[in-house]
Chains A and B, each alone.
Chain A
Amino acid sequence: MQIEQIILGCKSNDENSQKELVIRFSALLFTVCRRYARDYNDAKDILQDAFIEIFNSIHGYDPAKGGLENWMKQIVARTAIRRYRKMYMVRETYDKDVSYSNGYESNVIDKMELEDLIDLINTLPFKYKQIFNLYVFEEYSHSEIGKMLGLSESSSRSRLSRARKILIEKLSKLNPDFKLSNIKF
């Protein structure tokens, strides 16, 4: 089934088309969920909610404004953020240890397992993590993030900066060769 057909089917509430969309894009969108979610099960839950949201709002999807993947990723990100706002998440940090399967060289990020990289991002406190994800992966500007989260632009900037610092510190601890001075800002 062509993607255009799937979109048309979803717009007319056709279950087969919806199922096809889920099968094709679950893996891709699940990665986005993993970046926001506290754990694997939470990520699955977010993905299910996001797909329901996608089905409900696919009438508003305009291919001329961008690709379907990006549009869906944005919905997933918004769903994840809304979920954690709704859940009144109290826990700020996760003390989960990040283990790496390989040794590290200077460009430690390139050498990291992708699962480990996701886990590393997940160690960030939520308020930093959501801004890091929105800025880096969803490519929102600080003013857009500010509007979305009810923050000022400068708060968004400072939180991103803090997120970056925490990640680098964690990477430095894991690999002494990876130093702040090596990073070009």
Chain B
Amino acid sequence: MNNFEHNIKDRLDNYNSEIDPYEIWDGIQAKRNKQKKRRWGFIWLAASILVIVSTILIISSRQSNSNNNIVKINKTDAKEVTSKNKQDQKDIIVIDKKDIQSDKFNSSTKSLVKTHIENLSTSNKHKANETIGDFSVKNNNKKEISKKGESKTSIVYNTNILSNKKSTDSGESKTIDNSSENPENPLNISRELINISGLNNKLNELVFYRKSLILYFKSVPFNSHKHEFSNKKPCPELSLAGNYTHNQYFLNNSASDSFMNDVQNNEKQLESLDIFFGYNIPIYRGFGVFTGLNYGQVDSKLDFTFIDKKEFVIDSALTKIVYKSLTDTLRIYERAKTNATYEIHDIKYNYKRYIRVPVLLTFTSSIKSLKYEMRVGADFNILTCNNAKAITPEGKTVSIEDTELNLNKDKILGDFHFDFRLELKLNKNLAVLFGPQYKMSLSSLMHEKAGFDQYRHSIGVNIGAKYRYN
């Protein structure tokens, strides 16, 4: 320091400017109150987001469960027959033999059904046929199973079985014991069927993990002259992040056996690599729009497949029984349907590559040196079909081109996207970023006949680094 500087310092060192300290104190109080409010505002915002996401998860989970309980019965496949007792006509459903004939029908299921039918018939002095396809059940307040001729085999079932009243031959009414020991209890029938057929194992959730490499550019305001970020000039910002996402897929009831087998025989993990270039356009006061292009490739032994059912024709007697008995036996219903019908075609689309285009609204702000960013919007996934195969009723797989099916193979699926990221600035150009990500697929709104339930949620973590190019 030279004399000139010393002079200035000496003169000003002990100089006290005129200021009202009480005014300063009032200002301090006001600022601290404002900071508290802002902090609470942030906590409220985070809590609100948490509540919204949780609510969506719970509602969707319930929807998924309730979807499992929905039985789609083609009423045209069932015929009513006249009954001796006109009062009971509405309860009688007759299903032709062909509807339940299948050489692929699970033998253990057949025998179980037969056993139960026999139990019913024994207790009610009725007869059971030797094979599933050759019996019929009649119940006109009197429960009976009677053998039909070879030419017309049908099952007649009275839904009164669900009521707690049934009549005996003598016309006396007695209450059905719905306890777990009672073999007539439809609940027990369906439970056993589920166990025997192994469907309970097959209906596990599929859990996929997705790893992504994200690379995106972001335009941020930058004042090159001052080497400071300002509202004047944009500058590119490069982010490199890894993304680890936990995806849960719930199998829906149109998933085919072949797909189920794939799931069981292969790993349950599906990994994908995403490369993403994005661009954020600041609009107003921290708000902006984010868009870009994501290329993803699936790496797994398990085909990432969507399945369309070409035709659903008819239901079996068994499924009718179970359907009428319980709401949670949809699996049996579907199982029986799949096996009992000759006219089902599974069409498997194998998607190994996809392109994703996000359109997100972003909000960026900071608390001291910690910057945070929220993004809400939609991801549009364009799935390019690797190959498509049709499964014949005999189980043979043929190329989709060999069939007469004229189907649009490429699909566009939508995801609701929310993520929250925190950025910690390490130096002028470099920052680390991390934060959770949530996605809810909207795809099933567009593809009702998907092979597994696409009301799926994925929760992930973004971890990465960001380089700001000055």
Tell me the A residues contacting B by CB distance below 8 Å.
18-19, 22-24, 26-28, 30-31, 34-35, 43-45, 47-49, 51-52, 85, 88-90, 107, 109-110, 112, 114-115, 117-118, 121, 135-137, 150, 164, 167-168, 183-185
Q: Closest CB-CB distance, B140 to chain A, in whole Å?
A: 85
Q: Which of B5, B17, B31 contacts A27 (CB 8 A)?
A: B17
Are B226 and A89 in contact, with the CB atoms below 8 A?
yes
Are B21 and A23 in contact, with the CB atoms below 8 A?
yes
Could you say which residues of chain A place their CB within 8 Å of the CB of B9? 136-137
B284 interface contact, C-beta 8 A: no
Could you say which residues of chain B place their CB within 8 Å of the CB of A51? 24, 28
Are A44 and B32 in contact, with the CB atoms below 8 A?
no
A137 to B, closest residue via Cβ: B9
- Not counting A22-B28, A88-B228, a sample of 12 additional A-B residue pairs whose C-beta atoms are within 8 angstroms of each other reads A19-B25, A24-B21, A31-B17, A44-B23, A48-B24, A90-B223, A114-B12, A114-B15, A118-B12, A164-B2, A164-B4, A184-B2
Are B4 and A168 in contact, with the CB atoms below 8 A?
yes
Could you say which residues of chain A place their CB within 8 Å of the CB of B31? 48-49, 52
Could you say which residues of chain B place their CB within 8 Å of the CB of A30? 16-17, 19, 24
Are A26 and B19 in contact, with the CB atoms below 8 A?
yes
Q: Closest CB-CB distance, B366 to chain A, in whole Å?
A: 10
Dominant SS among interface residues on chain A: helix
B1-17 interface bits toward A, Cβ cutoff 8 Å, 1 = contact, 0 = none? 11111011101110111
Are B226 and A88 in contact, with the CB atoms below 8 A?
yes
A28 to B, closest residue via Cβ: B16
State the 8 A-B residue pairs at the shortest beta-carbon distance, nearest first: A27-B16, A88-B230, A26-B21, A23-B21, A48-B27, A30-B17, A30-B19, A109-B7
CB contacts under 8 Å to A, within B222-255, are 223, 226-232
Are A34 and B17 in contact, with the CB atoms below 8 A?
yes
B18 interface contact, C-beta 8 A: yes
B16 to A, closest residue via Cβ: A27
Could you say which residues of chain A place their CB within 8 Å of the CB of B23? 44
Are A90 and B226 in contact, with the CB atoms below 8 A?
yes
Bound complex: CA A73 to CA B46 (Å) = 37
Are B228 and A85 in contact, with the CB atoms below 8 A?
yes
B230 to A, closest residue via Cβ: A88
Bound complex: CA A110 to CA B31 (Å) = 39
Bound complex: CA A146 to CA B43 (Å) = 37
B38 interface contact, C-beta 8 A: no
Bound complex: CA A89 to CA B225 (Å) = 11
Could you say which residues of chain A place their CB within 8 Å of the CB of B35? 52
A19 to B, closest residue via Cβ: B25
Q: Closest CB-CB distance, A66 to chain B, in whole Å?
A: 15
Q: Closest CB-CB distance, A77 to chain B, in whole Å?
A: 13
The interface size of chain B toward A, counting residues with CB under 8 Å, comes to 36
Are A183 and B2 in contact, with the CB atoms below 8 A?
yes
Q: Closest CB-CB distance, B39 to chain A, in whole Å?
A: 13
Sample of 21 A–B contacts (CB below 8 Å): A23-B21, A26-B19, A27-B17, A30-B16, A30-B19, A43-B17, A45-B27, A48-B28, A52-B28, A52-B31, A88-B230, A107-B7, A112-B11, A114-B12, A117-B11, A118-B12, A136-B9, A150-B227, A150-B428, A184-B3, A185-B2
Bound complex: CA A88 to CA B222 (Å) = 9
B231 to A, closest residue via Cβ: A88
B226 to A, closest residue via Cβ: A88
Could you say which residues of chain A place their CB within 8 Å of the CB of B28? 18, 22, 48, 51-52
Q: Closest CB-CB distance, A91 to chain B, in whole Å?
A: 10
Q: Closest CB-CB distance, B27 to chain A, in whole Å?
A: 4
Q: Closest CB-CB distance, B1 to chain A, in whole Å?
A: 6
Bound complex: CA A64 to CA B229 (Å) = 39
Most chain A CB within a 10 A radius of its CB, from B2, B9, B25: B25
Bound complex: CA A184 to CA B8 (Å) = 14
CB contacts under 8 Å to A, within B432-454, are none
Bound complex: CA A85 to CA B369 (Å) = 13
Q: Closest CB-CB distance, A150 to chain B, in whole Å?
A: 6
Bound complex: CA A127 to CA B145 (Å) = 99
Are A44 and B19 in contact, with the CB atoms below 8 A?
yes
B222 to A, closest residue via Cβ: A88
Q: Closest CB-CB distance, A118 to chain B, in whole Å?
A: 7
Are B19 and A136 in contact, with the CB atoms below 8 A?
no
Bound complex: CA A18 to CA B1 (Å) = 35
Could you say which residues of chain A place their CB within 8 Å of the CB of B226? 88-90
Could you say which residues of chain A place their CB within 8 Å of the CB of B4? 109, 164, 167-168, 183-185
Q: Closest CB-CB distance, A30 to chain B, in whole Å?
A: 4
Q: A49-B31, A90-B230 are in contact. Are A22 and B25 (CB under 8 A)?
A: yes
Bound complex: CA A107 to CA B3 (Å) = 11
Q: A88-B231, A184-B3 are in contact. Are A44 and B24 (CB under 8 A)?
A: yes
Bound complex: CA A182 to CA B11 (Å) = 19
Could you say which residues of chain B place their CB within 8 Å of the CB of A48? 24, 27-28, 31
